[in-house]
């Protein structure tokens, strides 16, 4: 679409324009800042069947959260749309580590994007077990994302407990020397910056900020929650301002690269997060209602870089990485 835009006459070469989008996450080089959030992309191959979705537009894909044993997941209904957002309570329904290693990961060998494995569980030991099983197959994926923040499990998420989080991250860090270790934080944490510091000290390479926010919806005639599991995680454009603030807070607390996640649906959202301090952005819910969203965000960011260069009187646009964390607060 960029080639149709008369504005791009000064920059014909699409490939060169897209090279402005390169960024990195620890040792992981990303061709664009876009990653796909865990839980919205299945085990990596489902979207191949959907025309319009372009793997070239995506730097990394996070697979569905995996646990040491297969899980059925939560009772239905599991999905409910709310204004500008959706509630989900899938409950970590997954095939288990064994099937992931034997069937799903080998099928992703020639994917043009980094593969991120997301590990979860009800207790710290569950997560460690899943990570351990995967640690014998490290070459099959680039990064491991530790999901300490699933809103759809019983009890409080591990990510609200500083000691448990420190332990999980430390142990998994020791298992993975080369792979990037990412921690996905709990959003509704008043001390999110302290938690980020704990993760940094425990050896994390990057942080995902953040998981979906806990929420609920009620059927007024039944006087019962709509979701089968009563509560769910809220995602979509509705939570974007909330996660933007979280990214800002975490940026102030730690120097780790941040993957912003929460309601990103257009290039402006992406750039806002990058200016607030994110090195990469995660797209999830937006993919459900527009399979082309990733290409569109990339093109929109390129447009922004040119426009910004023009407004600042520069001869050529700056690469996107120069924008990371450039926010200055008022007064």
Partner 1 sequence: MSANAEKAKLAGVCSVRRKTIRGAFCRLTLNMPMEFPHPAPGQFILISPQPHSYDSQQTRATKFSTRLSRFDMGVPQDRTMLLRPMSIFDYVKAPGRPNGLLTLLFKVVGRGTLSLSGVEPGDRLRFLGPTGNGFNPLECKKTLLVAGGVGISGVNLLCKSLLAGGHPPLFILGVNSKEESPVRLSLTEVVPHHRWAIPKGTEPLRLVVSRMFDIFVPSMVASIYPGDQGAFCGTACELVERLFRANPAYAEKTMLAACGPAPMLEALEETARHYSVRQFLVVLEEKMACGAGTCLGCATRIKDLTDDAREAAFHYERVCTEGPVFDGYRVIYRM
CB of 169 to partner 1, least distance (A): 27
Given the complex with partner 1, which of 114 and 173 has the nearer CB atom? 114
Tell me: does residue 303 bind partner 1 (CB under 8 A).
Answer: yes
Q: Which of 42, 106, 241, 319 binds partner 1 (CB under 8 A)?
A: 42
Q: What are phi and psi of 246, to 5 degrees?
A: -65, -45
Give the separation between CA 243 and CA 307, rounded to whole angstroms. 26
Taking residues 90 to 129 in sequence order and writing x for each that binds partner 1 by CB under 8 A, - otherwise, the string is: x--x------------------------------------
Q: CB neighbours (10 Å) of residue 324?
A: 20
Task: Based on the residue annotation, tell me whether 150 is a catalytic residue of this protein.
Answer: yes
Give the separation between CA 83 and CA 81, rounded to whole angstroms. 7
Q: How many residues does the chain have?
A: 331
Give the separation between CA 212 and CA 1, rounded to whole angstroms. 32
Mark the segment that binds partner 1 (CB under 8 A) among 4-12, 107-115, 126-134, 140-148.
4-12
| Catalytically annotated residue among 150, 199, 266, 316 | 150
Q: Which of 225, 209, 223, 226 is nearest to 276 (CA)?
A: 209
Give the count of residues interacting with partner 1 (CB under 8 A): 56
Tell me: does residue 73 bind partner 1 (CB under 8 A).
Answer: yes
Residues linked to residue 289 through DSSP beta bridges, in sequence order? none
Mark the segment that binds partner 1 (CB under 8 A) among 11-19, 43-51, 138-146, 179-187.
43-51
Q: Which of 269, 327, 267 is nearest to 303 (CA)?
A: 267
Tell me: does residue 243 bind partner 1 (CB under 8 A).
Answer: no
Q: Which of 147, 265, 279, 282 binds partner 1 (CB under 8 A)?
A: 265
Tell me: does residue 296 bind partner 1 (CB under 8 A).
Answer: yes
Q: Which of 62, 67, 60 is nearest to 22 (CA)?
A: 60
Give the separation between CA 126 and CA 152, rounded to whole angstroms. 15
Triad 124, 149, 238: Cα angle to 5°: 175
DSSP string of 206-223, one letter each residue = EEEE--PEEE--EETTTT
Mark the segment that binds partner 1 (CB under 8 A) among 96-104, 156-164, 247-255, 298-306.
298-306
Q: CB neighbours (10 Å) of residue 66?
A: 31
Tell me: does residue 85 bind partner 1 (CB under 8 A).
Answer: yes
Q: Which of 28, 34, 35, 47 binds partner 1 (CB under 8 A)?
A: 47
Tell me: does residue 72 bind partner 1 (CB under 8 A).
Answer: yes
Tell me which H or E stretch contains 231.
none
* Contacts with partner 1, residue ranges (CB under 8 A): 1, 5-7, 39-42, 46-47, 49-53, 64, 72-73, 75-81, 84-86, 88, 90, 93, 228, 236-237, 265-269, 271, 285-291, 293, 296-297, 299-300, 303-304, 306-307
Active-site positions read 150
């Amino acid at each position: 679409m960029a080639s149709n835009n008369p504005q791009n006459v000064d920059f014909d070469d699409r490939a060169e324009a897209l090279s402005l989008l390169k960024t990195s996450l620890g040792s992981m080089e990303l061709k664009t800042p876009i990653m796909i959030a865990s839980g919205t992309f299945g085990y990596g191959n489902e979207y191949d069947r959907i025309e319009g979705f372009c793997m070239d537009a995506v730097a990394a894909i996070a697979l569905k959260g995996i646990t040491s044993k297969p899980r059925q997941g939560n009772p239905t209904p599991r999905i409910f749309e709310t204004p500008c957002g959706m509630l989900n309570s899938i409950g970590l329904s997954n095939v288990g580590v064994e099937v992931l290693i034997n069937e799903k990961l080998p099928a992703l060998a020639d994917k043009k994007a980094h593969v991120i494995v997301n590990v979860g569980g009800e207790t710290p030991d569950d997560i460690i077990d899943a990570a351990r099983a995967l640690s014998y197959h490290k070459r099959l994926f680039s990064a491991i994302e530790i999901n300490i923040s699933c809103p759809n499990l019983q009890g409080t998420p591990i990510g609200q407990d500083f000691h448990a989080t420190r332990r999980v991250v430390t142990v998994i860090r020791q298992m993975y020397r080369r792979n990037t270790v990412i921690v996905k934080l709990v959003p509704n944490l008043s001390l999110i910056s302290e938690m980020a510091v704990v993760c940094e000290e425990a050896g994390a390479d990057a942080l995902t900020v953040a998981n979906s926010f806990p929420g609920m919806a009620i059927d007024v005639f039944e006087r019962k929650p709509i979701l089968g599991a009563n509560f769910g995680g809220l995602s979509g454009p509705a939570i974007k301002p909330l996660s933007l603030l979280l990214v800002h807070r975490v940026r102030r607390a730690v120097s780790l690269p941040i993957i912003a996640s929460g309601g990103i649906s257009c290039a402006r959202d992406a750039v806002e997060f990058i200016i607030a301090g994110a090195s990469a952005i995660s797209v999830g819910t937006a993919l459900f209602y527009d399979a082309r969203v990733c290409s569109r965000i990339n093109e929109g960011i390129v447009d922004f870089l040119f426009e910004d260069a023009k407004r600042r009187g520069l001869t050529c646009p700056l690469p996107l990485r120069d924008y990371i964390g450039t926010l200055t607060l008022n007064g």
